[in-house]
């Protein structure tokens, strides 16, 4: 199983030193660093943009235009925000995002609407992922994950402390 290591919520305020620290671990382990981007104002974070554009092993995905719960938004808002995100990522990174990471919902009708909207905008949706703390715990017990996507937040020290363990357990 190929594990997707998802760094959630890279935005206009993301610290370049933190991103470099994290990404060097991905480069050292020959892993792809998947990031979900909050796109509103992202162009203001020139150091992060330049670093991503100047290094390899990135998969750029959408988290949203802003930090909102898209499961409760109208189809029109979702479509508009996804379109803005796609254009912003193409403009800043010369790359078209192929995936949107959205909070999981057990409401099938709601998820169906979200998936249809994402499909209309040309992106796949992933709503099944586990937090790094849970994933490390499961893997340390020699059990299998129920998903191939493990997320962490680069702004949370506890998450970053578990990253090397996750690499070790998924080698």
Domains, the chain, in order of start with CATH, read 4-169 (3.20.20.370)
How confident is the model over 102-129, as a mean pLDDT?
80
Question: Which residues are bridge partners to 149 per DSSP?
Answer: 4
pLDDT of 73 reads 86
Nearest to 125 by CA among 163, 71, 68, 169: 71
pLDDT of 106 reads 61
Helices (H) and strands (E) in the chain, counts: 6, 7
User: What's the rounded Cα separation, in Å, for the pair 8 and 61?
Assistant: 9
Contact between 139 and 170 (Cβ < 8 Å)? yes
How confident is the model over 147-152, as a mean pLDDT?
94
pLDDT band at residue 105 using 50, 70 and 90 as cut-offs: low
pTM of the model: 0.91
């Amino acid at each position: 199983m190929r594990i997707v290591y998802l760094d959630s919520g890279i935005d206009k305020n993301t610290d370049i030193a933190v991103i470099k620290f994290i990404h060097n671990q991905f480069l050292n382990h020959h892993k792809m660093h998947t990031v979900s981007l909050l796109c509103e104002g992202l162009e203001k974070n020139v150091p992060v943009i330049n670093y991503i554009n100047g290094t390899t092993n990135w998969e750029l995905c959408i988290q949203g235009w802003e930090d909102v719960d898209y499961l409760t938004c109208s189809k029109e808002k979702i479509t508009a925000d996804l379109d803005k995100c796609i254009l912003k990522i193409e403009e800043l990174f010369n790359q078209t995002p192929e995936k949107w990471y959205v909070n999981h919902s057990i409401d099938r009708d709601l998820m169906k609407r979200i998936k249809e909207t994402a499909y209309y905008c040309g992106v796949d949706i992933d709503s099944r992922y586990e937090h790094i703390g849970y994933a490390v715990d499961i893997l340390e017990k020699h059990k299998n994950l129920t998903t191939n996507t493990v997320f962490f937040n680069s702004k949370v020290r506890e998450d970053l402390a578990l990253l090397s363990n996750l690499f070790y357990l998924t080698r």
